[in-house]
Chain A
């Protein structure tokens, strides 16, 4: 037995795997404040104001100030809360978000200091199912947080969030089915390789739109941000959370945005590949990061543009529009793949 867990393309030594985990963790920790600042700055510009501009040059230290503020707050919990679950729930959210982040491929196998290293956390044969598995566990982060808070608002918010997550997860999975059928594999790196001639956004444009819409709902972003509709529904599952526990939820949400963007880049936008040019291997991670940031901009753009849906609209849209559309897309793709291949 060379590998105990899911098989990788080639066996990397244990120290490479540990270094990769640390690097990926640090990468996620470093990107999230950048995304945070970019969102607030862009939102400011969309709304014809400056955005944060007080802390540091151009307000660039604002995320740092936010983090220090949240981390130094007094730990507080409602007297009705269930202690250990209340503390455990944000951890589940954070853990699953970071675990899902590990699967994003940032490049092909590269040789660093004479050692072959895959520029991804892990390349499992089940590919995108890995992301969905951790998405399924992430549900318990929200649910337990809302339940363990011992507050009606939190509980109802958690129910709202959970119903939304499971509704849109179905359409999200079905929308990727077309890509998987065209690539004939589940491995994310192999899917990127299969797009060397044409990015899948061209033949799978419907699937891309469905995935993007469901992705907005899965990450609780506008116009589907009902789980934390701060203006009218007293936030949601995180109402009773403050300080570093709230920061963990917040952090997990932004990592989830990166994961959904990364999956979209991998599945539809050719991953690390660029059209017409073939840059050297070390450029690949920057290409992927650049494409991810295009999606982050899109997330902010949509948030600044569209109003929030009502809850019944959200549900009927997910089940009556997105799901049939995704099913039809998968069916048509299957027929075309069989007819052409």
Chain B
């Protein structure tokens, strides 16, 4: 059973990886990458790394690839197949990196002496690869890399917000106009006509609307540029 699963997952992973670079339609290319990642998760399962397998599917196949699919489905299509646009310099560099990776993996594989190739593998201690084990390792032995990685993610998240603001994607004034303290006092979006056109939903009686939404937006954009 394990052998059959190994060959199914292994050939799935290789076929997926080849599909990513061989297929011309970007959408199918992304799908090939998804199947590659799911096959890798199967291989992790065979190595008794349940948590890594689940994380692989949830994070890579589930979260990262979702964004790829979004972008490719929106902007790329069958009309614009991927062409060979790489220059000669890029080709040389990619060949060097590919060869280096191949060498590294060959050394690692051959370095093990291939002694376990016909056995069931080394025995693993109880609880190996379980969430408990990985959690305690992350908080003791690998605490520093763990914290550094979390800072990296935080920086990436902040960077995304900064970039979106610079391009005017998130206008501060507009956000404030739509979410005020009055939202807490009165159930927000209870369905007034004013809301439907983007006005504040709780103007006091007799209040004069000085700016139309378009004017407010223009003012906010002018402010953001300053």
User: For chain B residues 125-163, which have a beta carbon within 8 Å of chain A?
Assistant: 130-132
Contact B66 A4 (CB under 8 A): no
For A137, the chain B residues whose CB sits under 8 A away are: 38, 57, 61-62
What is the chain A residue whose CB lies nearest that of B69? A143
The number of chain B residues touching the other chain, given as a range, is 20 to 34
Contact code string B185-206 (vs A, CB < 8 Å = 1, else 0): 0000100000000000000000
Query: Which one, B13-21, B46-54, B105-113, is touching chain A?
Result: B46-54
- Cα distance A1–B73 in the bound complex, in angstroms: 44
Interface residue from A4, A129, A316 paired with B2 (Cβ < 8 Å): A4
CB-CB under 8 A from A130, the residues of chain B are: 54
B50 engages A4 (CB within 8 Å): no
Chain A residue with the shortest CB-CB distance to B46: A4
Query: Is the beta-carbon distance between B50 and A125 smaller than 8 angstroms?
Result: yes
What is the predominant secondary structure among interface residues of chain B facing chain A?
helix
Whether the Cβ atoms of A126 and B73 lie closer than 8 Å is no
| Cβ A126 vs Cβ B54 within 8 A | yes
B57 pairs with A133, CB closer than 8 A: yes
Query: Which residues from A are CB-within-8-Å of B41?
Result: 133
Contacting B70 at CB < 8 Å: which of A6, A125, A159? A159
Q: Which of A5, A129, A143, A313 contacts B58 (CB under 8 A)?
A: A129
Contact of A136 among B50, B53, B63, B189 (CB under 8 A): B63
Q: Which residues of B contact A144 (CB under 8 A)?
A: 31
- How far is A211 from B64 in the complex, measured between Cα atoms in Å? 23
Binary contact readout B20-63 vs A (1 if CB under 8 angstroms, 0 otherwise)? 00000001000100100010010001101011011101100111
Chain B residues closer than 8 Å to A6, beta-carbon distance: 45, 50
Q: How far is the CA of A166 from the CA of B5 in the complex (A)?
A: 30
B181: chain A residues within 8 A (beta carbon): none
- Docked complex Cα distance between A144 and B65 (Å): 13
Asked if A133 and B62 sit within 8 Å, CB to CB, the answer is: yes
Asked if B121 and A1 make an inter-chain contact with CB atoms under 8 angstroms apart, the answer reads yes
* Docked-complex contact A126 and B51, CB < 8 angstroms: yes
**Shortest distance from the beta carbon of A169 to any chain B beta carbon, whole Å:** 8
Instruction: Check B57 against A126 for contact (C-beta < 8 Å).
Output: no
Cα distance A45–B108 when bound, in Å?
68
A6-B50, A139-B66, A159-B73 given as contacts; is B131 within 8 A of A132 (CB)?
Answer: no
B84 at the interface (CB under 8 A from A): no
A305 and B183 CA atoms in complex are apart in Å by 23
- Taking CB atoms, residues of chain A closer than 8 Å to B55 are 129
Residues of chain A contacted by B132 (CB below 8 angstroms): 185
Which A residues are CB-close (under 8 A) to B63?
Answer: 136, 166
Contacts A136-B61, A159-B73: A129 and B54 contacting too (C-beta < 8 A)? yes
A135–B62 contact, CB under 8 A? yes
CB A80 to nearest CB in B, in angstroms, measures 11
Q: Is the CB of A136 within 8 A of B62?
A: yes
Q: Which residue of A lies closest to B5 (CB)?
A: A4
B89 close to A (CB within 8 Å): no
Q: Is the CB of B27 within 8 A of A147?
A: yes
**Residues 97 to 133 of chain A near chain B (Cβ within 8 Å):** 124-126, 129-130, 132-133
> Who on chain A is nearest to B54 by CB?
A129
Q: How far apart are the CA atoms of A94 and B45 in the complex, in Å?
A: 22
Instruction: Please report the C-alpha to C-alpha distance between residue A133 and residue B69 in the assembled complex, in whole angstroms.
Output: 17
* Complex Cα–Cα for A310 and B197 (A): 13
Counting CB contacts under 8 A, is A199 at the interface?
no
Chain B residues, Cβ within 8 Å of A124: 50
Q: Is A162 an interface residue (CB 8 A)?
A: yes
Assess whether A86 is interfacial by the CB under 8 Å rule. Answer: no
Q: In the complex, how many angstroms separate the beta carbon of A330 from the nearest chain B beta carbon?
A: 15
Q: Does B207 contact A (CB under 8 A)?
A: no
Closest 5 CB pairs of A and B: A136-B62, A133-B57, A129-B54, A4-B2, A126-B50
B residues in contact (CB < 8 Å) with A = 1-2, 5, 27, 31, 34, 38, 41, 45-46, 48, 50-51, 53-55, 57-58, 61-63, 66, 69-70, 73-74, 120-121, 130-132, 179, 189
Give me 11 other A-B pairs in contact (C-beta within 8 A), A133-B57, A185-B132, A316-B179 excluded: A1-B120, A4-B1, A7-B48, A126-B50, A126-B54, A129-B131, A132-B54, A137-B57, A140-B69, A155-B73, A162-B66
What would 28 A/B residue contacts be, using CB atoms closer than 8 Å? A1-B121, A4-B46, A5-B5, A5-B45, A6-B50, A7-B48, A125-B51, A125-B130, A126-B51, A126-B131, A129-B131, A130-B54, A133-B54, A133-B57, A135-B62, A136-B57, A143-B66, A143-B73, A147-B27, A159-B70, A159-B73, A162-B66, A166-B63, A169-B62, A185-B132, A186-B131, A313-B189, A316-B179
